[in-house]
Structure 1
Amino acid sequence: MGSSDAKQTKYIIVSGGVISGIGKGIIASSTGLLLKTLGLTVTSIKIDPYLNIDAGTLSPLDHGEVFVLDDGGEVDLDLGNYERYLNVTLTRDNNITTGKIYREVIDKERRGDYLGKTVQVVPHITNAIQDWVERVGSVPTENGRVPDVCIVELGGTVGDIESAPFIEAMRQFQFRVGHDNFCLIHVSLVPVVGAVGEQKTKPTQASVRDLRGLGLSPDILACRSAIPFAEGIREKLSMFCQVSPKQVFSVHDCESLYHVPILLQQQGIIDVLNDRLKLKDLVISTERRAEGDSLWAQWREFARRRARDLDEVTIAIVGKYTYLTDSYISVVKALEHAALNINRKVKLSWVEASDLEEGSKHKDPLKYHEAWQHMCAADGILVPGGFGERGVEGKVLAAKWAREHNVPYLGICLGLQVAVIEFARNVCGMPNAHSTEFRENCDEPVVVFMPEIDRTTMGGTMRLGSRPTKFQDSEFARQSKIKQLYAGADEVHERHRHRYEVNPEKVSAFEAKGLHFVGRDAETGERMEILELANHPYYVAAQYHPEYLTRPLNPSPPFLGLLLAASGQLDAYLAGQDVTHDVDMKLKM
């Protein structure tokens, strides 16, 4: 541990202007990754200015997927980016919402902590925000080191009413921690308009003017645009936004998001951060610097591999939010990581589950036939998690197709449950089999409500967070593909987010017909966590969400198995053969 750990944590604030969804999370993650390549310890915070306590009750169509942390926190998808890029394990405290802040302040007021004072946005709300940021920024990471740098992403757009208390809190915070410990990156849009594709700087100028009017001056401008800066754009932004040209960065559309850190590094962002935050004054051990150098070499190789012309593997994702792919962003990343680690490129075929159903054949025959065409042409099928009845029968049909036609299948959460429903109906002679989530009084309840879950409230009441799954001591389980993919582990820890489970009373009937529950919860052995079908190339499903723990060069085993099977390499991989050819790297971050 270097002596820098005893010093004041340095803070990098990432704000956004002009439009929302501009890519603040990727800029923040990429900056954090680059700091890690220097051997620094980095953590992150995401501020969401909505009044919800957490993201648990938000629709994926409104806000993208809900990402689940080890401690059960349901948070914004950007925290998934942070965990994947920085290889850190975050907690619910790393996600601040307006609801959390106001609840904390109101609880204090009810206890009498403010001693009769009038409780106001300034100073009480703004102080609570600063206290929270400083508290989380000084919590040691899993390696025991206090973070050298904490990156704080301020959600929303400068000028939003709901963001105002957080902007004011950060204005005060810059003086609280000191000039050398505070850096502001402002992410803005430089649109390309007109027939000749002219880049316009006025939106960024206006956004910076608004920011400065609120008492914050950007130290770095990260300008999003479809194309690299045209001649003179950087100088123009420098002149009107009062920053030097070297502090203006072109973050144009590139080959993949994995290239963004390389793009920023090539333009000199590390030098700017070094100067602004006096990073060279930090004492970093030789060992940590060597780890940083190794990380950077591995990341560049991974990005290079992403750009290569690799053989494609087509995976059909059968879901109910397919027209907003951010609803399944961790699933997409897990597939991509698994594919690139076996020298393949994954091609996603999005299939709306309800379009597979017989009713769609008459209501919209074109969508029906297109959906089935996509699924039939896929090398593998994935049914992700989800809530609500819409599309469930389509997912059951996808599981049936995969089982009957020996197509590699991976089911996640609801994807496990529909596989059980399908097997019960079509193999075990239970034609009315269903889940009590969708048919409360069904004749054959093969999926049931978990007894200890609170039915009265929605937020934070599911089985959430990291739980242990124990592989069973049966002949089939010991030789199962999924256990081998987990390197023969007897127990694995994965993150959960569900309310319903396979009915344990029906398990023996399923296993007698070849559907084996090779993994069960380690606490009671009554919850079915992993299933695998006998005599099938790869038919695996998990009640947990393995996509939450995927890393770029350390892919999730169930996803790796799906891609290996879909590319015809699973048997060779399980036999110990090298299927990565010229690539053989393990990421150590």
Structure 2
Amino acid sequence: QIHVSLIPDMHGEQKTKPTQTTVGVSRGLGLLPDIVACRLLGSDPLFPSTKAKISMFCHVSEAQVIGVHDVSSVYHVPLLLEAQGIVEYFQKRLNLSSLNIAKPMLDRGDVLRRRWQELTKNQERLFDEVSIVLVGKYTALKDSYMSVIKALEHSAFRCRRKLKLQLVPSEDLERETLDTAPVKYHDAWRALVGAQGVLVPGGFGLRGTEGMILAIKWAREQNVPFFGICLGFQVAVVEWARNVLGLAGANSTELDEATPHPAIVFMPEISTTHMGGTMRLGLRPTVFTPGTETWSKVRRLYGGAPKIWERHRHRWEVNPEMVEKLEASGLKFVGKDEKGERMQVFELPNHPYFVGLQAHPEFCTRPLDPSPPFLGFVAASCGAQVLEEQAEWMAQNFRPPHPQDAMVSEPELIKRSKGLTSTAEADAQPYVNGNGNGVAVSPTA
């Protein structure tokens, strides 16, 4: 048991009474702490005298008392805990020293530790900034985009840049806002045109989508790096249909059922009335189109792999009847499902970085291994040279973040979820969440 307790600082004196009381109450309930983690609100570490006092009155050894004070970044916390002997304590408490750990595993651990130390050290030496604007529907609550923000952070670390992120409500970019709230309108556009990269994340519903389309149009025409995720992918296709193909009124049927030019449609196997358990969910494969290995930036960022896996969560898709027109006009769908029927990744050649994914790659980012399309987006926002450097590195070093047994075909996913005996049976099933309860098919997905 790890007992976390606040250590108030009263005029420079660290108070232990709250910790003594809460540990005493826990012990009375039969809960004996293995570690007492002392949270300090400030940069001062836990004083030795305070640690000794907690040890004496809480009946634990000093090795079991760990101080956790404020640090410049949460990524410093593991090293802070290690410096206070928490690893040695766990080895002793869990009898880990009796295990025969293979040398390759120990070597991987040492490499991971060194890489983590380098990450935290480099964080303190970030002088250049990269300015990104996130144009979204739910910007009032920053945590709505927590995974996206972390993916941007991880990518900025790799590019050795400090992330300067601005969240812009997509509604504020719309013409109507100029009449109702001109200050918001001008502030939103000022943020957009001053950014080095434009990201449009996922979402649902009509509100704010016209503002997203305006932001995408600006990024495309001004050669500013753009990255669209899920809804961002879909409205980028709508923007292209309207402004490049000249299809006035083109839209998604999610946003306008009566659109004369449906660029985005409900997936045919999805119920239009029943919403529960009907999404296309979980880890799904994407197959890159042959020939894209010679020019596609996003494929290169995935190490040139012919097939990748990312997590999905959607009900709509690019209208198959419009794909030929879209590609003929220059928007290339470089990644599709295994049947080649569902468009999952688009890319615009001859643009610094104009990429969209139907999937949510932010769910699989890691501090030391940023998501490839996010890394490409941030690198392109830093400049063409940085993008080239990162693409070259990823071409040699990309490793999928998923467990090997989770990277299977869609028929195999359906076979597992429905208990079918063969993939031939599964191949005849619709490619949606096979268990019908709105939960991803595989626990590892």
What interval of TM-score do these two structures reach, taking the shorter chain for normalisation?
A: 0.7 to 0.9
Question: Contact 1:450–1:499 at 8 Å: present in 2 too?
Answer: yes
Tell me, what secondary structure is at the counterpart of 1:483?
Answer: helix
Tell me, what secondary structure is at the counterpart of 1:452?
Answer: coil
Aligned to 1:339: 156
Summarize deviations over 1:290-327 as a string: whole Å, max 9, x none: 22222211211111112213311111111222233332
Give runs of aligned pairs for residues 315-334 of structure 1, distance below 5 A.
315-334=132-151
Alignment of 1:486 onto 2:311: no
Question: Contact 1:553–1:587 at 8 Å: present in 2 too?
Answer: no
Summarize deviations over 1:65-112 as a string: whole Å, max 9, x none: xxxxxxxxxxxxxxxxxxxxxxxxxxxxxxxxxxxxxxxxxxxxxxxx
Aligned to 2:229: 412
Alignment of 1:357 onto 2:174: yes
Whole-angstrom distance in 1 between the partners of 2:107 and 2:93: 23
Aligned to 2:382: 567
Deviation at 1:269, TM superposition (A): 0.5
Give runs of aligned pairs for residues 377-526 of structure 1, distance below 5 A.
377-454=194-271, 458=275, 460-474=277-291, 478-522=294-338, 524-526=339-341
Cα distance, 1:457–1:221 mapped onto 2, change above 3 Å: farther
Summarize deviations over 1:20-64 as a string: whole Å, max 9, x none: xxxxxxxxxxxxxxxxxxxxxxxxxxxxxxxxxxxxxxxxxxxxx
Aligned to 1:534: 349
Whole-angstrom distance in 2 between the partners of 1:435 and 1:510: 15
Question: Contact 1:295–1:588 at 8 Å: present in 2 too?
Answer: no
Cα distance, 1:453–1:233 mapped onto 2, change above 3 Å: farther
Aligned to 1:242: 59
Match of 1:283 among 78, 100, 103: 100
Code of the residue aligned with 1:442 in structure 2: it is T
Give runs of aligned pairs for residues 45-124 of structure 1, distance below 5 A.
none
Deviation at 1:199, TM superposition (A): 4.8
Deviation at 1:587, TM superposition (A): 9.3
Whole-angstrom distance in 1 between the partners of 2:174 and 2:22: 48
Code of the residue aligned with 2:283 in structure 1: it is S
Code of the residue aligned with 1:449 in structure 2: it is F
Tell me, what secondary structure is at the counterpart of 2:366?
Answer: coil
Summarize deviations over 1:231-266 as a string: whole Å, max 9, x none: 343334334433233212222221222111100001
Whole-angstrom distance in 2 between the partners of 1:331 and 1:503: 27
Deviation at 1:414, TM superposition (A): 0.8
Question: Contact 1:477–1:518 at 8 Å: present in 2 too?
Answer: no
Question: Contact 1:320–1:390 at 8 Å: present in 2 too?
Answer: yes
Whole-angstrom distance in 2 between the partners of 1:588 and 1:235: 47
Aligned to 2:371: 556
Match of 1:295 among 112, 127, 132: 112
Deviation at 1:467, TM superposition (A): 1.0
Tell me, what secondary structure is at the counterpart of 2:166?
Answer: strand
TM normalised by structure 1 equals 0.63
User: 5+ residue gaps in structure 2?
Assistant: 402-445
| Two-structure CA RMSD over aligned residues (Å) | 2.8
Question: Contact 1:561–1:570 at 8 Å: present in 2 too?
Answer: no
Deviation at 1:208, TM superposition (A): 3.3
Tell me, what secondary structure is at the counterpart of 1:396?
Answer: helix
Whole-angstrom distance in 2 between the partners of 1:431 and 1:383: 22
Summarize deviations over 1:555-583 as a string: whole Å, max 9, x none: 2221121122111135861797779xxxx
Alignment of 1:190 onto 2:7: yes
Aligned to 2:75: 258
Whole-angstrom distance in 1 between the partners of 2:96 and 2:327: 59
Whole-angstrom distance in 2 between the partners of 1:587 and 1:484: 13
Cα distance, 1:421–1:188 mapped onto 2, change above 3 Å: farther
Deviation at 1:420, TM superposition (A): 0.8
Deviation at 1:455, TM superposition (A): 5.0
Aligned to 2:362: 547
Question: Contact 1:482–1:561 at 8 Å: present in 2 too?
Answer: yes
Cα distance, 1:244–1:489 mapped onto 2, change above 3 Å: same
After the TM superposition, list the runs of 4 or more consecutive aligned residues in structure 1 that deviate by more than 6 angstroms: 574-579, 584-589
Alignment of 1:269 onto 2:269: no
Whole-angstrom distance in 2 between the partners of 1:236 and 1:306: 35
Tell me, what secondary structure is at the counterpart of 2:258?
Answer: coil
Deviation at 1:358, TM superposition (A): 2.1
User: 5+ residue gaps in structure 1?
Assistant: 1-183
Cα distance, 1:574–1:511 mapped onto 2, change above 3 Å: farther
Whole-angstrom distance in 2 between the partners of 1:413 and 1:509: 21
Question: Contact 2:380–2:387 at 8 Å: present in 1 too?
Answer: no
Code of the residue aligned with 1:439 in structure 2: it is D
Whole-angstrom distance in 2 between the partners of 1:284 and 1:588: 25
Match of 2:37 among 219, 222, 227: 222
Deviation at 1:466, TM superposition (A): 1.2
Whole-angstrom distance in 2 between the partners of 1:343 and 1:303: 11
Aligned to 1:374: 191
Question: Contact 2:301–2:398 at 8 Å: present in 1 too?
Answer: no
Summarize deviations over 1:374-424 as a string: whole Å, max 9, x none: 111111111111223322222112111111111000111111011011111
Whole-angstrom distance in 1 between the partners of 2:208 and 2:57: 52
Code of the residue aligned with 1:277 in structure 2: it is L
Tell me, what secondary structure is at the counterpart of 2:3?
Answer: strand
Tell me, what secondary structure is at the counterpart of 2:143?
Answer: helix
Corresponding residue pairs, total: 398
Cα distance, 1:200–1:361 mapped onto 2, change above 3 Å: farther
Cα distance, 1:422–1:202 mapped onto 2, change above 3 Å: farther
Whole-angstrom distance in 2 between the partners of 1:285 and 1:241: 38
Whole-angstrom distance in 2 between the partners of 1:501 and 1:338: 28
Summarize deviations over 1:174-232 as a string: whole Å, max 9, x none: xxxxxxxxxx1123333557xx4665545444543443344322111223332234534
Cα distance, 1:244–1:376 mapped onto 2, change above 3 Å: same
Code of the residue aligned with 1:221 in structure 2: it is V
**Relative contact order higher in (CA < 8 Å, ≥ 6 apart):** 1
Tell me, what secondary structure is at the counterpart of 2:363?
Answer: helix
Cα distance, 1:271–1:484 mapped onto 2, change above 3 Å: closer
